[in-house]
Amino acid sequence: MDFRQEFIRFTIQQNVLRFGEFKTKAGRLTPYFFDAGLFYDGAALKQLAGFYAKAILAAGPGFDMLFGPAYKGIPLVAAVAIALADAGRNVRYSFNRKEAKDHGEGGSVIGAPLSGAVLIVDDVISAGTSVRESVNLIRGSRAVPCGVAIALDRMERGTGTLSAAQEVRASYNIPVISIATLDDLMGYLKADPQRSRELAAVGRYREQYGVSAHA
């Protein structure tokens, strides 16, 4: 089992990935729900960061440092920096605060100064607001956003014909690296005969709202 399949199994075991009937922010009824906020203990965060590190190193993007957008990206970017160091790749990292301070260390970025090629680390891409703000902040510091690393790519249409990840690629010309995608989830379900009902439900949802990996 490759790390992407291992990640799907891990998210199900952690009850982060659940099956049933859920309503998305867009008002769609989805047969599965992924909540990265439920990785909330030390052991789970350590494993999650390890999966991020594997995905980032497998993708091989050239980057000099990591950036985590507030708020969910803050613990993620610190944990991923540690996991990369454990894997032999020691890189600097920083994150932002929502409100800039005019005293103490000042500014809106905490950690290493933004410079060189910066890889953004976040949980998922939904409306893309977090990515847009991060890209503007990085470019405003005369650094270069070189990609976004997320946990799961739902491969689902946004307001148009593209998925949120595809919109980021099209808008900023940067890759989106995901630990796993909807393809990986369906592959996992397909390999387990006891999950035929979930596979059928996810398949129907994908036919209605999914996008091609190459769109």
At 113-143, the pLDDT tens digits run 999 999 999 998 876 788 999 999 999 999 9
Q: Using 50, 70 and 90 to split pLDDT, how confident is the model at 98?
A: confident
Q: Using 50, 70 and 90 to split pLDDT, how confident is the model at 180?
A: very high
Q: Which amino acid is at 117?
A: A
Q: Does pLDDT of 185 surpass 60? A: yes
What CATH number labels 3-209? 3.40.50.2020
Which residues lie across from 156 on neighbouring strands? 210
Specify the DSSP class assigned to residue 27.
Answer: S
Q: Does pLDDT of 103 surpass 50? A: no
Catalytic residue selected from 25, 101, 190, 214: 101
pLDDT tens profile 47-91: 999 999 999 999 987 999 999 999 899 999 999 999 999 999 999
Cα separation, 130 vs 133, in Å, equals 5
pLDDT of residue 212: 77
Cα separation, 44 vs 127, in Å, equals 26
101 counts as catalytic: yes
103 counts as catalytic: yes
Catalytic residue selected from 23, 46, 54, 103: 103
Q: Does pLDDT of 107 surpass 90? A: no
pLDDT of residue 135: 96
pLDDT of residue 214: 52
Cα separation, 197 vs 94, in Å, equals 43
Q: Does pLDDT of 104 surpass 70? A: no
Cα separation, 17 vs 20, in Å, equals 10
pLDDT of residue 105: 47
Measured in Å, how far apart are the chain's first and last C-alpha atoms?
27
Sheet holding 92-101, edge to edge: 107-111, 92-101, 65-68, 117-121, 144-153, 176-181
Largest distance between two CA atoms of the chain: 59
Q: Using 50, 70 and 90 to split pLDDT, how confident is the model at 100?
A: low
Q: In degrees, to the nearest 5, what angle opens at C-alpha 72 toward C-alphas 31 and 14?
A: 45
